[in-house]
Structures are given as structure tokens and as C-alpha cells.
Amino acid sequence: MPHHPSPRALRAFAETVRTGSLAAAARVLSVTPSAISHLLRELEHSLGQTLFITRGPNAQPTESGDRLARRLATAFDNIDAAITEVRHQAGDVRISALSSFLTLWLVPRLTGFQARHPDTRLLFSTGLRPVDLTAEPFDCAIRWGSGPWPNLDATLLFRDQPVVVTNPRLLGTDPLPRLAARTRPDDWPLVAAALGWPDAPPTLTFETRALAVQAAMAGMGAAVVDRNLVAAMLVSRMLAEVAPDPPVPVQQGHWFVALPDRLRLRQVRQFRDWLVTEAAVEQTRPISGPP
């Protein structure tokens, strides 16, 4: 009776061909390169044939090895998709979000999503780098940029509208201390150039736009921020616009991104569609409030 190869050996082979080396496959599978080498020898022994021409840093499969690897890649993709679907039966959606977007725009609106979809649990993680949705445990992400991103389904929520904001009681103060965000070093130069203001270094620099906005609300100076993110604060007069109106035009914006296979999950689609609806409503809302 023929000896069937183990699933571990098949996975090690598929990852070695996909990544191009034993070391890369070992990192993906969280084992040592020697363990990968042992599994590959086991697989070749069970099949009775050689699957690689070379196995060094640039692993090259034989013709039959390449055919096997392509079939295995499809099979393992289907297995991964099935596992992901089962895990999401509990209604969890794992989201990587920009901290300023999450703090200023999304959190104040989340009760609306929870009311419409009480069985879906949103799990948020924030960071300064774009996560790799193919390798990290996230179903979707909110990204800032001009797009598109290879292999990702991207939906524009709104384009950035940089404006200068401050505490209303500081309106008329000249000059206003400049509050900057380290993550957006071009904010002040962009706005100052558009307005003909002299270039000047910021008085205080914070990690994110959200922190700079909080400092502006506290009366510490003026910050540059996307008008979309602080629309509710402008309406309630927690903040006031110093300039400019209309905002400086830019190509970057906030996007919902996900791998196409994740959009097969109902909860991920619901979250995306809700974001799009909320963003569209915000675009039609006038930025005005009581004097």
C-alpha cells in the first residue's frame, strides 16, 4: 500500500515553492530551515521522485514539482478560506485602523453600527505602518494614501481636506502656535504655501493628528487636520476653522481596503458598506454651527 505524504510535508513543499527558499518557508510556518529540509526529503521519499532542481536560497522546483505546487497552493488557499469562514461565524471582524481616523471619526459613530449589526464584534488595532493583509491576522484596514494597492480591493471613503483649526476663543490671535503631527510632516508646509503664509517650524510636534487636534481644542495653538475628521467638532464649536476655505486640494484620502476573499464574509461587507454610507452622509453635511 503506498505511503501517503503527510500534510505537514505537503505544506512545507508548497510554501518553499511559493516563497522561493527554505528559510522563507520556515519563517512562514514558524519552524527551522532544517525542519523544512527534513519535510521535503520525507515528501520526495514518499512520492519516489525528486521535486527540486535546486534547494538553496533560490529554490527551483522540477516540472512535476511545479505542477504539484500549483495544485497544492489552490488546495491550501481553500483550506485557509474555510478556516477563516468558520472563525468568523462568531461575528468577529479584525480591523487595522489609523489612530487619528479611529479616534476622531470612527469611534463617535460606532454606536450606529452596533445598533444595526448587534451580532458583529469589531476588533480594532492601530499602528503607524500599513499592515500586510496577506500575512497578518486582519480582515480589513483603513489606509491613508492615493491608492490603488496591488491585490487589495480598495474603496475610497473621502479625500483629505486639510484645514487649520483651533479653539474658538483663539480666533484672531496672530500668530498662533503651530501644532504638528509627526506622521504628517507635510501638513503645515502644504497649507502655508497655499495661503502664502511664511514657512515656520512647529511649536509642538505630536505623534498623530488626533493628538495635535486635542492640543488645539485645549487652546495650545492651531493644528492642520482633515476637515472630514473633525466635522462634528466644528459644528459643535469645540473647534473653529482658521483657514483655508475651501480646503487645500490633495489626492490622498482615507480608504477601506481588504483582500477580495475577505469580502466574501458578510460581516466584512457590512462594515465596508456602513463606512461608505456614513462617509457619504458626512460629505453632504454643512460645516456650520451656532455663533
What pLDDT does 127 receive?
A: 80
Per-residue pLDDT band at 171 (split at 50, 70, 90): very high
Domain ranges of the chain: 7-87, 91-160+252-283, 162-243
Q: What is the pLDDT of residue 87?
A: 59
Q: What is the pTM of this model?
A: 0.67
Q: Tell me what pLDDT residue 94 has.
A: 93
* pLDDT, mean over the chain: 88
Distance CA 199, CA 1 (A): 79
Between 161 and 127, the more confident residue is: 161
Q: Which fold has domain 7-87?
A: Arc Repressor Mutant, subunit A (1.10.10)
Higher-confidence residue of 281 and 170: namely 170
Q: What is the mean predicted confidence (pLDDT) over 84-88? A: 61
For 162-243, which CATH superfamily applies?
A: Periplasmic binding protein-like II (3.40.190.10)
Q: Alpha-carbon torsion 226, 227, 232, 237, what sign?
A: positive
pLDDT at residue 88 is higher than 70 = no
User: 291: pLDDT confidence band, cut at 50, 70 and 90?
Assistant: very low
What's the CA gap between 184 and 205, in Å, rounded?
10
Q: For residue 156, give the amino acid letter.
A: L
Per residue in 234-265, pLDDT tens?
A: 999 999 999 767 778 788 999 999 999 999 99
Conformation bin of residue 20: beta by default, left when phi > 0, alpha when psi is -120 to 50: left
Q: Is 258 helix (H, G, I), strand (E, B) or coil?
A: strand
Give me the mean pLDDT over the 39-56 stretch: 86
Q: Are strands 52-54 and 60-61 parallel, antiparallel or unpaired?
A: antiparallel
The pLDDT value recorded for residue 284 is: 62
| Nearest CA-CA partner of 165 in 102, 104, 109, 214 | 214
- pLDDT given at position 263: 92
pLDDT at 283 over 80: no
What is the residue whose three cell numbers read 521535503?
Answer: 40
Percent of the chain clearing pLDDT 90 (strictly above)? 54
Q: How far apart are CA 209 and CA 224, in angstroms?
A: 8
- Please say whether the beta carbons of 158 and 255 come within 8 A: no
pLDDT band at 28 (very low <50, low <70, confident <90, very high): confident
Mean pLDDT of 193-199: 88
- Count CB atoms within 10 A of the CB of residue 17: 22
Q: What is each CA distance from 192 to 60, 164, 245, in whole angstroms?
A: 55, 10, 13
User: With 60 as the cut, is the pLDDT of residue 287 above it?
Assistant: no
Mean pLDDT of 217-244: 92
Instruction: Please give the span between the terminal C-alpha atoms of the chain, in angstroms, as a whole number.
Output: 86
pLDDT reading at 145 higher than 70: yes
Among candidate residues 229, 154, 151, 150, the one with its CA nearest the CA of residue 184: 229
On the question of a common fold for 7-87 and 91-160+252-283, the answer reads: no
Specify the CATH superfamily of domain 91-160+252-283: Periplasmic binding protein-like II (3.40.190.10)
Q: Could you give the percent of the chain with pLDDT greater than 70?
A: 91
Lowest mean pLDDT among 45-49, 92-96, 282-286: 282-286
| Residue whose C-alpha cell reads 493644528 in the numeric block | 223
Query: Residue 212's pLDDT is what?
Result: 96
